[in-house]
Structure 1
Amino acid sequence: MGSGRDKRKKAKERKDGPVVGVGLVKTEKKTAKNEAKKERRAEKRLEGDEDDIDALLARMALEEKAKKGAPEVTADVEPPGPRVSASFQPYITPRGSFLFLFGGEYADVATDKVHVYKDLYRFDVDKRKWSKIDSPNGPPPRSAHQAVIVKNTMLVFGGEFTSPNQERFHHYKDLWRLDLTTWEWDCLPAKGGPSARSGHRMVLQPLKNRVLLFGGFYDTGREVKYYNDLWELNLESMKWTSLGPAAAGATGQWPSPRSGCGMAVAGDTLWVFGGYSKAKDDDDPDLEHGKTMEDIWACNTTTYTWERVKKVGMAPGARASFALAVHAHPKAGPRAFVFGGVSDNEAKGGEDLSSEFHNDLYTFNFERRRWFAAELRPPPGSKKGAGDEAAAAAVGTAAGADGAASASAPPSAPASKAAPPGVSQEQADKLAAMTADKGSALYRAAVKIQASYRGYKVRKAYIAYRVGGVVSELLYSPATFGLDLSTLNMPKPKARIGALTAVVANTLWLLGGTVEVGSKEITLDDMWCLDAVKLDGWQLVRENTVGEELLKRAAEESDSEWEEAGSGDDGEDDSDDSEEEREKAKKGKAGSSKK
């Protein structure tokens, strides 16, 4: 019937001609009906609570699409607010030196809500002034992404968007390009490239005109997957190529999956250090526990063969989410600065998680394959106490310049020196003699503790190292034995994770980061700089404005805890935090380590 009727209809149209407007009206009605359905579906997608990732991203996409006009640059604006896990890239031009900050996130202390950004800032290094660049049709908000600057463009890959209550996550696999001359964004094809992820690392390898990407993680909400794949982005074709571990020719050793690691390129070698991952429990395969790593890997980027490098020198311990920036030292050659990070100590099954945040500074010399504690020197003209030369040698001041300069060895201790209270003269003489012997176990232990720990953590350190007795006098009163450690009290950034660092010329810049106090995440907004050659002290460019009362209270409580521990406290936790708050704090610590 249907086909016959169609034939009769067509025959009538051939005889009488088509009815004018009938087909058009019908088509218009159908189109209008379909458009109405699309609008209803779109409105439904836009509905949802604050943790509905799809609705949040859909609303933001509509807002971005509605933006019109050319990009605008606003000069001399207020510095960016508190920020962590953003990208922070140097850009050197004949007109001046700049740092570009894009994206990142901020945990509001008052509301416990997380805000993710898509804003773009430019910092003029010479003038120390900020500009904000508003460019329509750019990437959606993200943090824990990676960026590199190539000639006059900035490339951004991946990252994540977190719902305000940190209940849901969306990971990106898009590749964006920003023209630094027109401020226009464009999204490049990502077909055949790395999977969606955040917490990965990406570096430029100028010698081969390419970008290398390694690692990262993907969180579905039910499980977390960690990666150890290596990718190449060819800067001529703008195409991705997988380099392993399944790539042809990639054989032998290979770093384990991880995120929140450090990565750098020096010549033909790619370096990877530390990071964080989840591992299956040996006793119960259904359980997982977090692992913070301290291994160092070097990859030959011609053969794609990896080797695990032995830790030599004064190396940092296991850590993740630290800041890393590469500096070309005029004498010692290329090296990496490593600042801060977190060491998570998680029991099997994840039932107990304790974290230690760091604010120590290390350098790694690529040519010598050696770590150094980058201890600071007093600025020229400052007052020196007796024994400064000995202190310089003891805490590795010479090593801070990667062997480019050397300090004199500590002078031999006198045969007899007045003993401090509570220490016999015999003990004092013995200790003085041992500290004069750089080869002694006591000397090495004391140097390591002094270089790695500050304040109340010294008490924890000498307990951990199991060196008691008179060595405590060296730790508490080093000046008594000619080890004046006054430089350790010089101003320096707080311990933190996710800080933004970059080197411009011979200056190391540091901005933001996060520290956790109980269940609270405090995102910082302070800014510091350090002469990377002289190492004559951190300069505070902008003071922190967030959570100072909480940070101060936490420091006081930490001191109090160690005093009680020293008095024989049983160490039980009498915190008023609820189980829910403790679980939230544990979740936050593990999440931060990934990035």
Structure 2
Amino acid sequence: MGKKKSTSTAAKAAKKAKAEKKAEKRTTKKGKKDKREEEESDDDLEAILEKMRQEWEAAHTVTEEVVEGPPSKRANATMTACPSGNYLWYIGGEYFSEDGRAYFYNEIFRYTPEKDEWRTFISPTCPGPRSAHAVATTHNKIFLFGGEFSSLHQTTFHHYRDFWCFDINNHDWERIETKVTPSARSGPRMAVWKHYIVLFGGFYDPGITTKYHNDLWLFDTHEYKWRQIEFRENDAKPSPRSGFSFLPTSDGIVLHGGYCKEYAKGKRPVGVMLDDTWFLSLSLPTIDTTDPKSPTATATSKKSSKASSEPPLQVKWHRLRRPSTAYCPSLRSGCTMTPWANRGYGVMFGGVTDEEKGEEGLESVFHQDLNAYQWPATFTGSAAKGRWMSLTLKKPKKKGVAKKKKVQAQQQQRKANDDSDDENEDEEPDPENNETHIATPAEDDIDPDDPQLTVPIPRYNAMLAVIRNTLYLYGGILERGTREYTLDDFHYLQLDKMEKWVCLRPHSWVFGEGEESEDDSDDDSGDDDESDEDEEDYDDEGENKRDGKKDKKKQVEVVEEPEAEPEEETEPEQEPEDSLRTQAQAFMSAANTNTPENALSTPLPGETLAVFYARSREYWAQTALSTTSSDTRGKALRRDGFALAEERYEEYKPLLKEVEKILAEAGLDEEEMRRSAQAGGLGQQAGQNRNRR
């Protein structure tokens, strides 16, 4: 019995030892496994970090390239002087091609004047393609807000509300995300005052109606926050607008001009050019470090600390008046000023003035003058006055020219006296004849050194920027007749010398290309005869008037020489064509004032006979019923109605073809023509495009 108990105890001890050995083995194995997993985890973390680093570098890798010259044709881009170097920065833009397609860009270029060199910087992280955006510069940063993008045929539109920052040193973009931000818009303006970026105005247009803004926003570059400045209802403030001038000063910001549209029920929108001037006074509260109640005091309390981080700004709009007798440029739009900080001026070039001509539509006058606005040195409220001035080029003084002219005049006078003595020794020379004879060669001579010959051609929406005392001008838009030209020329002018414009690249357009041959010849002859000041008139109406004068002259020649067959053959062709173009323009202008009956019974541009009849079938059936016997029914009535519709369509067919030609030149396809006509927008296509906003 004792032996059996001893054997059982030994077996239990052996079993326990075996179990302990297995447990120890499992613990050792688990420890090795945990150690291995920990090592693998460390390896994975390093791999993750390496992958993240590679992805970040790929997203922020900037490719820098030297390009041959200035950017291609584009409008509504921004050209800005660098805040920390002698450079120009050029961002975005759009181009409306001859085949009616809209192209948008998101490229950023840098121009170095000393080298006459253009570079582009390409980064995977950057703003989307856009135009009509706003930029502001401070220190080594360029801030960008908003803008617009459209479909290829401009049937749908998108407005941005994103906010970006471009680092001038690293050449990379960073998107700034904030909880509060201004609404989506295009055509606003931004300016920098101290450490604030101030944004005002702009428009939102999804393609139906245009809504203009006059809200004011501030972005704090220290705290990276937007906030809107609210005004009381009765406070003075500028009206809603876009395309205005926004110039920063030490005391605030000067706002001038702009453009908007006025909408009235039952009437087509009317473009309004603005020429009012406002001053936005900005000031921080006086710092008092000894008063704990001061919002900017350095108190230790949490409340005071919070108040000091965002001090309340004193913001107020003031309308700046100018004397009625003081000089100012003519009313115009499309002429945003750029600041010339060294003199305290805003510099403006060109612009366009649209004048209503009743049923004939709009007459556009394009400018090429240079003006400057000198804002008040110190702001004293509404009593402060700015001053406008015209900047004109100085003619160079040539040595010996006056003496040479005097000698020539004396020689001419002696020759005239000698001739007069030969004819009649008793008669004295007529001083008036001598004066005219001497002045004629001087008037006919064209001085190649005349600085007026260097002035860029008229335009609106030109991009301007000033580096120190040098004004740079790029591109813009010019219209001739129904055609719109996006310019790509590049010039500069020394503002402190005002000697001449220097062209760094001429524009690449050949004006008149693709237009009627008669219009081309008229434009060329008109340009030869007119001075630089008259060169800005390129409107359709002016061309028609000149054509009419020439036609009258040709008619006289035909009466005097009836045997000249070529003139008898060409004259009947020219007269109806001009008359048809005039009728087409009147048809477009009156499209939105038609009665419902006229709108239903008149074919639209781009409509076929089948589409026109399908749209107005019931009208023509009723008309046929009222003009035929009362027993006409069914197919016979529909046949009579179709005959009336066909007769009306054939009556309007030549006029519709001319209207379609005008709209095709403006970049519309057949579907867009029908939609525009149904919306009553034909009157706007010839003179008011999306650039006039």
Q: CA RMSD in A?
A: 3.7
Equivalent of 2:372 in 363, 366, 375: 363
Report if the CA contact (8 A) 1:215-1:226 is conserved.
yes
Give 1:556's aligned amino acid.
Answer: D
* Counterpart position of 2:71: 80
1:119 aligns with 2:217: no
1:531 matched to which residue of 2? 494
Report Cα offsets for 1:206-255 as digits up to 9, x if no partner. Answer: xx311111111111212110111121111112222212xxx145743221
Equivalent residue, structure 2, for 1:318: 331
Provide the C-alpha distance between the structure 2 equivalents of 1:555 and 1:226, rounded to a whole number of angstroms.
Answer: 37
1:288 alignment partner, one of 249, 269, 278: 269
Alignment of 1:215-254 (within 5 A): 215-243=201-229, 247-248=230-231, 251-254=234-237
Matches of 2:141 and 2:386 in 1, distance apart?
32
1:102 deviates by 0.7
Q: 1:142 to 1:547 in 2, by over 3 A?
A: farther
Given that 1:112 and 1:520 are in contact with CA atoms closer than 8 Å, whether structure 2 keeps it comes out as no
Residue 97 (str. 1) matches residue 86 (str. 2)? yes
What's the offset of the Cα at 1:89?
1.1
* Whole-angstrom distance in 1 between the partners of 2:526 and 2:239: 35
Q: 1:156 to 1:568 in 2, by over 3 A?
A: same
The match for 1:575 is 581
Map 1:455-534 → 2, pairs under 5 A: 489-534=452-497
**Cα drift, residue 280 of structure 1:** 3.0
CA distance in 1, matches of 2:151, 2:399: 50
The match for 2:248 is 265
In structure 1, the residue matched to 2:689 is 591
Q: Which residue of 2 aligns with 1:154?
A: 142
- Identify if the C-alpha distance between structure 1 residues 275 and 547 changes in structure 2 by more than 3 Å, giving closer, same or farther: farther
CA drift of 1:374 comes to 0.8
Contact 2:93/2:132, CA 8 A, preserved across alignment:
yes
Q: 2: distance between equivalents of 1:532 and 1:288?
A: 39
Matches of 2:185 and 2:433, distance apart in 1? 59
- SS of 2:87's partner is strand
Code of the aligned partner of 1:107: F
3-state DSSP of counterpart to 1:556: helix
Q: Deviations over 1:383-429 (max 9, x none)?
A: 8779x9xxxxxxxxxxxxxxxxxxxxxxxxxxx9848999xxxxxxx
**What residue ranges of structure 2 are gaps of 5+ in the alignment?**
1-55, 283-313, 377-384, 406-429, 528-542, 553-574, 585-657, 667-683
Q: Distance in 1 between matches of 2:400 and 2:367?
A: 28
The alignment's TM-score, normalised by the length of structure 1, stands at 0.65
User: Hey, which bits of structure 1, 4+ residues long, moved more than 6 A?
Assistant: 382-386, 419-422, 565-570
Report the CA distance between 1:593 and its aligned residue: 4.4
The one-letter code matched in structure 1 to 2:337 is: L
Tell me by how many angstroms 1:128 deviates: 1.1
Q: Match of 2:460, as an amino acid? A: I
Alpha-carbon spacing, 1:186–1:557, altered in 2? closer, same or farther (3 Å): farther
TM-fit CA distance, 1:338: 0.7
Instruction: Kindly provide the CA deviation profile for residues 421-452 of structure 1, in whole angstroms up to 9, marking residues without a partner as x.
Output: 99xxxxxxxxxxxxxxxxxxxxxxxxxxxxxx
User: Which residue identity does 1:342 align to in structure 2?
Assistant: V
Q: Distance in 1 between matches of 2:347 and 2:82?
A: 19
Partners of 1:583 and 1:190 lie apart in 2 by 43
- Paired AA for residue 184 in structure 2: A
Q: Distance in 1 between matches of 2:175 and 2:218?
A: 18
Partner of 1:307: 319
Distance 1:417 1:158, change over 3 A: farther
Q: How does 1:47-86 map to 2 (within 5 A)?
A: 70-86=61-77
1:556 to 488, 511, 524: 524
Any idea what the Cα deviations from partners look like across 1:284-334, whole Å, max 9, x if unmatched?
Answer: 5654311112222222234312214226632112222214211134xxx30
Q: Which has the larger radius of gyration?
A: 2
* Aligned partner letter, 1:276: Y
Q: Is the 8 A contact 1:316 1:362 kept in 2?
A: yes
Q: What letter corresponds to residue 238 of structure 2 in structure 1?
A: P
Ranked by relative contact order (alpha carbons within 8 Å, sequence separation 6 or more), the top structure is 1
In 2, Cα distance between the equivalents of 1:356 and 1:300? 35
Instruction: Give the secondary-structure state (helix, strand or coil) at the position aligned to 2:237.
Output: coil
The alignment-based identity, stated in percent, is: 29
Shift in Å at residue 516 of structure 1?
1.9
Partners of 1:535 and 1:66 lie apart in 2 by 48
1:342 matched to 2:352 = yes
- The alpha carbon displacement at 1:513 in A equals 1.2
Hey, what's the Cα distance between the residues in 1 that align with 2:88 and 2:399?
A: 31
Rounded to whole Å, the distance in 2 between the matches of 1:288 and 1:544 is 33
Pick one of 135, 138, 157 that aligns with 2:123.
Answer: 135
Q: What is the TM-score of this pair, normalised by structure 2?
A: 0.56
CA distance in 1, matches of 2:524, 2:398: 33
Aligned to 1:373: 390
Secondary structure, counterpart of 2:685 in structure 1: helix
What is the correspondence of 1:390-429 to structure 2 with a 5 Å cutoff?
Answer: 418=432
Paired residues, what number?
433
Contact 2:191 2:253 in 1 (8 A): no
Q: What is the CA-CA distance between 1:342 and the residue it aligns to?
A: 1.6
Contact 2:203 2:211 in 1 (8 A): yes
CA distance in 1, matches of 2:317, 2:523: 45
The DSSP-based 3-state class of the residue aligned with 2:581 is coil
Question: Which amino acid counterpart does residue 170 of structure 1 have in structure 2?
Answer: H
Secondary structure at the counterpart of residue 143 of structure 1? coil
Who is 1:460 aligned against? none
SS at match of 2:238: coil
Letter in 2 for 1:305: W
Q: SS where residue 689 of structure 2 aligns?
A: helix
